[in-house]
Amino acid sequence: MKNRRRFLVFGAGVLAACKKAPDSESGAHMRVYGERAPGETSARWILELSASPGTGSSRTPLADLYGTITPTSLHYERHHSGVPAIEASKHELVIHGLVEKPLVFTMEELRKFPSFSRIYFMECGGNTMGEQRGNTQPDVQRSHGLLSGAEWTGVPLREVLKAVGVKPEAKWMIAEGADAGRMARSIPIEKVMDDALLAYGQNGEALRPEQGYPLRLFLPGWEGNTCVKWLHRLQFADAPAYSAKETAYYTELGKDGKAQIFTFVMEARSVITRPSGLQKIAPGFHEITGLAWTGKGRITKVEVSVDGGKTWAEAELQQPVLPLALVRFRYPWTWDGKEAVIQSRCTDETGFLQATHEELVAVRGSNSGYHYNAIKPWRVRADGMVTHV
Amino acid sequence: MCKSVGFLVAVSCFGQGRPASAELIQKLDITVFADGRGLPVGTGTAAAGRAIYKSKCAVCHNDNGEGREKQYPALVGGIGTLATERPVKRVGSFWPYATTVFDYIRRSMPFDHPRTLGVDEVYAVTAFVLHLNGIVAEGFELNERNLAAVKMPNRDGFVPDQRPDVKAKR
């Protein structure tokens, strides 16, 4: 019986494969929750950092994507103690410390506040860390893939804080997740009162478990680690906690052996995503395209060089250019079939111009790792293969 | 307070939350500050911590904190390497505060069963990790009153954000 069924299924499969798709026949049924076409196989690249499940990171396949919104299923992840299974109906946010009225909020209560939605980029503070030491990766997913863009929905934290009444002595907020390791970060009060978001939605639906379901902190333009997932506790204090993830990690060791601490903002940078590492191109016309972003407002300019940095030309920016969001740039290029080095550099509204690897290393040395944001050159070999430089 | 008056369906109740009781806060609040605030009352020595370490930590971090493979971080070494070409950032060489070591072990370790150690066990195993790094003596009795005063080798090794530091040439 079992064998027979297997044969039938197999047989049907062969028949389906052999038949030419008849455009006069009606198509497949609808799906209650959509899926992409079977031939589309773009996927995250997973790096497990310990034998324990769920730790490490998964990286966004930047070279495969269009536009500036990362599909939620392809958004990058970084976990320190795996992905907890949390029921939204049982999840609560406790706010305490230097406040007038310590309060507990259910998810239902948080969703009753007027909601706020905005498109933002998010990048891990450790994105492209290896590049600083010359440990380049073969493709842009592995080198730059701890970067994604999404529309985030939630309630501005300062609105919720009106109910608790933060005391003037409170200078920091310690945000803690309900993951197994209770990951915690200290956030300066200025950011909390500026644009911090208690996010429960991403790209129009509830957060996915790996993005902090049912609630995460979102700090626009700041390193991803501060956007604490599975958020369950906010503690107001007169000092930071100096937690492990803000001292031992996410700090930048300089040449003098001193490390910079509380380096939150992601400075401006850009990268060409097509053509990029591991792709093969043919001589002729190509549209060079990539992404630019800055944690300090708006990208004002992206320039592209196709001659190893000797000359630069302005790329076209896809409008509208949103602040604190990914910006798509394009530059038309006819490749003559000779070896070439292509790269992009961006400028943001503070006047910051993205530097070369050499310029960055001259100031920071090779050990800071986090917040490395130098120009990324790609070599197009005479045979059309694109490699790192 | 939250009241509904007739068909004015308690608009003022929306998103107001409910008071967080002292018991709830006490249960959840595990933050330890660098000056020692937040430390629970308790005590332990490295001598006592050795056995706890052996049964609860060594499987991942190895017998003397050397770490295993590269996935399970070493808990020793690196002192004096921070300004070199190949700095080794470890608990003893890099972490600025002993309170952070205590806080992290209490909240996140053992990695596969976090928050299963008793308070005295956390003090003891913290003392043992500090002892492995040559920071406290084996018999030193660590407690909520003296832990913040334990001086880590890299206490003064941190400076604020220096950026924008890199200037690109046009």
Token couple for B125: 């195993």
- What is the average pLDDT across A68-97? 97
Q: Which of B155, B165, B169, B170 to mutate to test the interface with A (most CBs of A within 10 A)?
A: B165
pLDDT at residue number A46: 94
Contact B166 A105 (CB under 8 A): no
Task: Give the pLDDT confidence score for residue B165 in this predicted structure.
Answer: 96
Alpha carbon A48 to its chain's center: 17
The pair of three-digit structure tokens given for residue A227, joined into one six-digit string: 């956007």
Of A242, A253, A366, the CB nearest to B34: A242
Residue B39, pLDDT above cutoff 80: yes
pLDDT at A242 over 70: yes
Cis geometry, peptide bond prior to residue A168 (ω within 30 degrees of 0): no
Query: What per-residue confidence (pLDDT) applies to A22?
Result: 66
pLDDT mean over B161-165: 97
Residue A19's pLDDT is 55
pLDDT of residue B11: 43
Residues A89-95, mean pLDDT to the nearest whole number: 98
pLDDT for A9 equals: 41
How is chain A split into domains, by residue range? 88-260, 269-388
Among B31, B114, B168, select the one facing A184 at the smallest CB separation.
B31
CB distance B65 to B137 below 8 Å: no
What integer pLDDT is reported at residue A23 of this predicted model? 79
The residue-averaged pLDDT of A155-183 equals 98
Question: Is B163 close to A263, i.e. CB distance below 8 A?
Answer: yes
Chain B contact set for A232 (CB, 8 A):
28
Q: What confidence tier does A21 reach under pLDDT thresholds 50, 70, 90? A: low
Q: Do A164 and B72 touch (CB under 8 A)?
A: no
Rounded Cα distance between B57 and B36, Å, is 25
Of the candidates A94, A95, A181, which has its C-beta nearest B107's C-beta?
A181
The ipTM value here is: 0.93
**What pLDDT is stored for residue A3 in this prediction?**
42
| Neighbour-count burial for A157-172, b at 16+ CB within 10 Å, e otherwise | beebbebbebeeebeb
CATH T-level assignment (fold) for domain A269-388 = Immunoglobulin-like (2.60.40)
Q: Do the Cβ atoms of A363 and B114 come within 8 Å?
A: no
- The per-residue DSSP string of B55-95 comes to HHTHHHH-TTS--BTTTB--SS--TT-TTSSS----HHHH-
pLDDT classification of A4: cutoffs 50, 70, 90: very low
Find chain B residues with C-beta within 8 A of A176's C-beta: 31
CB contact under 8 A, B29 and A259: no
State the pLDDT at residue A63: 98
Question: What are the tens digits of pLDDT across the range A198-217?
Answer: 999 999 999 999 999 999 99
> What is the pTM (predicted TM-score) of this model?
0.94
What is the C-alpha to C-alpha distance for residues A249 and A255, in angstroms, rounded to an integer?
Answer: 17
Amino acid of residue A29: H
pLDDT tens readout for residues A323-338: 999 999 999 999 999 9
What's CA A17's distance to the chain center, in Å? 38
Q: Give residue-wise pLDDT tens across range B58-114.
A: 999 999 999 997 689 999 999 999 999 999 999 999 999 999 999 999 999 999 999
Q: How many CB atoms lie within 10 A of CB A366?
A: 16
pLDDT in tens, A244-260: 999 999 999 999 999 99
Tokens of A69: 């919104």
Of A103, A112, A239, which has the smallest distance from its Cβ to B19's Cβ? A103
Chain B contacts of A248, Cβ < 8 Å? 89, 91, 94-95, 100
Average pLDDT for A56-65: 97
Q: Determine the longest span between alpha carbons in chain B, in angstroms.
A: 73
Q: In which residue are the tokens 């043919």 written?
A: A282
Q: What angle do CA B147, B153, B154 make, to 5 degrees?
A: 105
Percent pLDDT > 70 in chain B is: 91
Give the Cα-Cα-Cα angle A59, A65, A66 (nearest 5 degrees).
Answer: 150
Contacts of A360 in chain B (CB under 8 A): 166
Dig out the tokens for B169 from the structure. Answer: 């040439």
Chain B positions touching A49 (Cβ under 8 A) are: 71
Long-range contacts of the stretch B117-123 (C-beta < 8 A, 24+): B117/B52, B117/B56, B118/B42, B119/B40, B119/B41, B119/B42, B120/B42, B120/B43, B120/B44, B120/B48, B121/B44, B121/B49, B121/B52, B122/B42, B122/B44, B123/B42, B123/B43, B123/B44, B123/B49, B123/B147
Query: Which one of A183, A241, A256 has the shortest CB-CB distance to B33?
Result: A241
Q: How far is A160 from chain B (nearest CA, A)?
A: 8
On chain B, the residues whose CB falls within 8 A of the CB of A376 are: none
For A88-260, CATH number?
3.90.420.10
For residue A47, the SS3 value is: strand
Partner-chain contact B19 A256, CB within 8 Å: no
Q: Give CA–CA dist A206/A200, Å, rounded.
A: 6
Q: For residues A209 and A277, is the Cβ–Cβ distance under 8 A?
A: no
Q: Taking the CA of residue A193 as centre, how many other CA atoms within 13 Å lie in the half-sphere pointing to its CB?
A: 12
From chain B, pick out residues whose CB is under 8 angstroms from the CB of A112: 14-15
Are A248 and B95 in contact (CB < 8 Å)? Answer: yes
Shortest CA gap A383–chain B (Å): 32
The pLDDT tens digits for B109-159 are: 999 999 999 999 999 999 999 999 999 999 999 999 999 999 999 999 999
pLDDT 10s digits, A278-321: 999 999 999 999 999 999 999 999 999 999 999 999 999 999 99
Q: Residue A15 burial by CB count (10 A; 0-12/13-18/19+): exposed, middle or buried?
A: exposed
Strand ranges, E, within A316-369: 316-317, 327-335, 340-348
Query: What percent of chain B is modeled with pLDDT above 90?
Result: 88
What structural domains and CATH numbers belong to chain B? 41-149 (1.10.760.10)
Q: What is the pLDDT of residue A7?
A: 40
Nearest to A109 among B15, B87, B97 (CB): B15
Cα–Cα nearest to A360, from A350, A348, A372, A351:
A372
Q: Which residues of B touch A237 (CB under 8 A)?
A: 31, 33
Cβ-based neighbours of A103, under 8 Å, separated by 6 or more: A94, A95, A163, A164, B16, B17, B18, B19, B20
- pLDDT value for A48: 85
Query: In chain A, what percentage of residues exceed pLDDT 70?
Result: 93
Tens digits of residue pLDDT in B12-32: 445 589 999 999 999 999 999
